[in-house]
Structure 1
Amino acid sequence: MQTKVGLITIGQSPRVDMTPEMQAILGNDIQIVEAGALDDLTREEIAALAPQQEEATYVSRLTTGESVKLSKKLVTQRLQEKITEIEPQVTSIIIACTGNFPSFQHEKLILYPDRILRAVVNGLIDKQTLGIIVPLPEQKETLKQKWDGITVLVESASPYADDDFIAPAETLRKAGASMIVLDCMGYTEEHRKIVQEASNLPVILSRSIVARVAAELA
């Protein structure tokens, strides 16, 4: 029987920009079951989930290809509902966001990309400086805080817009980064290649690291 792994995005599913790359790593013996925190919501309902001033902001993708900014607090509530909804169908669940979430109520194994990334980086970084690329300029300070104990440099470039990835990659290299993390599940293999070529540094792609862990567990 085919193993099923849940993939819950904070945006809308299906994530046609993400799942093909992750499926290639998971292999044909594993089926991805998708759900989105914004599935079945109207434009007005999605707008009501926008962050207020000074609130932690996350960004994701709609099925139209548009990006949307979301309140961390409000989208967390929606994620719990989706976990409860798809849990009976799968053996494990991936939260398709590298944001720092609280532990959800669940029975099946949940993979938190944020925790996986930090564990990988902590195993690789000693006293070196870590470069991070995040989607939005307003996320720089918030996401910088999660890398507690590591010297970090942060630049921004959105995976959901026609942003320049070469300039932030070069900036991080010149500032002394020894490794770069693309800190969002929306970043693609193509983004990783651009950043690696521009910086000549090792680059960690969130979605591929998480998919490899999920494949190992499955």
Structure 2
Amino acid sequence: MPISKIGTITIGQAPRADITPILDAALPPHVTAVHSGILDGLSDEQIAARFPPGGGGEGEPVLTSRLLDGRAVVMGKAAVHRAVQLEIDRLATREGCQVVVLLCTGEFHGLECPPGAWLLEPDKVLLPALEALVGRRRAGVLVPLGSQVASEVEKWKGLQRAPVFAVASPYTAAEGEVAAAARTLVESGAEVILTDCMGYTAWHREVCRRETEVPVVLSNQFLADILKNML
């Protein structure tokens, strides 16, 4: 049966004004989309109580996302993982989505989709493709939080050459901060810049290109292109 309905999950609040237009542009006319977020309808206090950084124990990785009003929020990964799985189940079973797309480049081990539905996880789809794309070149990886760099080193260990990292939040960094991060990557030897967060947009890409003149790969656009080929 042709795919006619997909669901997307942001680890923030939906709809994501920065990501949704990119995905919607990839959808053929016969496909509808349900956009959801694990923080939908929650107050600041509820988010802090349910997704506290470090709530999964000392050294727990953190993730960041965007609220409807544009503010950024930082959350503990363990609680996010549980909420994402619940939302996958809801979209596939109650909403009837045939494809569920996770809008986060973080690594989530053990996520499952109910039988009959596809689960599109960026870390499982984009990572191998980007490793092949980069080849023997040195990649520069742009990440939102300094505290994520240690886990990023492990994530990108499959690259033929060790990557370099720089930090600039897609949600709070000013143009100067993004430009400085891009320059740092190239000065450290990067020949291509990979944006390791769905929140980086065409604006971030243009800032990086203007400062460095090296290719810049947007994770959200890459994912949209893959999704388009499925539908």
The two structures have a TM-score, normalised by structure 1, of 0.94
CA contact (8 A) 1:25 1:208 kept: no
Letter in 2 for 1:155: A
CA contact (8 A) 1:26 1:215 kept: yes
- Output the aligned Cα RMSD: 1.6
- Helix, strand or coil at the partner of 2:209: helix
Output one character per residue of 1:108-145: Cα deviation in whole Å (capped at 9) or x when no partner: 11111112221111212233211000011111111221
CA contact (8 A) 1:7 1:95 kept: yes
Output one character per residue of 1:3-33: Cα deviation in whole Å (capped at 9) or x when no partner: 2221101111111221012212334443221
Where does residue 81 of structure 1 map in the other structure?
A: 86
Aligned ranges for residues 50-65 of structure 1 at < 5 Å? Answer: 50-52=52-54, 53-65=58-70
Question: 1:144 aligned to 153, 163, 166, which one?
Answer: 153
CA contact (8 A) 2:3 2:98 kept: no
Cα distance in structure 1, aligned partners of 2:178 and 2:25 = 24
Aligned ranges for residues 109-188 of structure 1 at < 5 Å? Answer: 109-150=118-159, 151-163=162-174, 164-188=177-201
Question: 2:102 aligned to 82, 86, 95, which one?
Answer: 95
Letter in 1 for 2:163: V
Cα distance in structure 2, aligned partners of 1:217 and 1:2 = 9
Of 84-93 and 18-27, more deviation after overlay is shown by 18-27
Q: How far off its partner does 1:190 sit?
A: 1.3
CA contact (8 A) 1:98 1:183 kept: yes
Unaligned runs of 5+ in 1: none
Unaligned runs of 5+ in 2: none
Where does residue 192 of structure 1 map in the other structure?
A: 205
Moved >4 Å (runs of 4+)? none
Aligned residues: 218
Letter in 1 for 2:61: A
Letter in 2 for 1:121: L
Cα distance in structure 2, aligned partners of 1:26 and 1:145 = 34
CA contact (8 A) 2:131 2:158 kept: no
The two structures have a TM-score, normalised by structure 2, of 0.89
**CA pair 118-2 structure 1, distance change in 2 beyond 3 A:** closer
Q: Given the alignment of the two structures, is residue 212 of structure 1 paired with residue 225 of structure 2, yes or no? A: yes
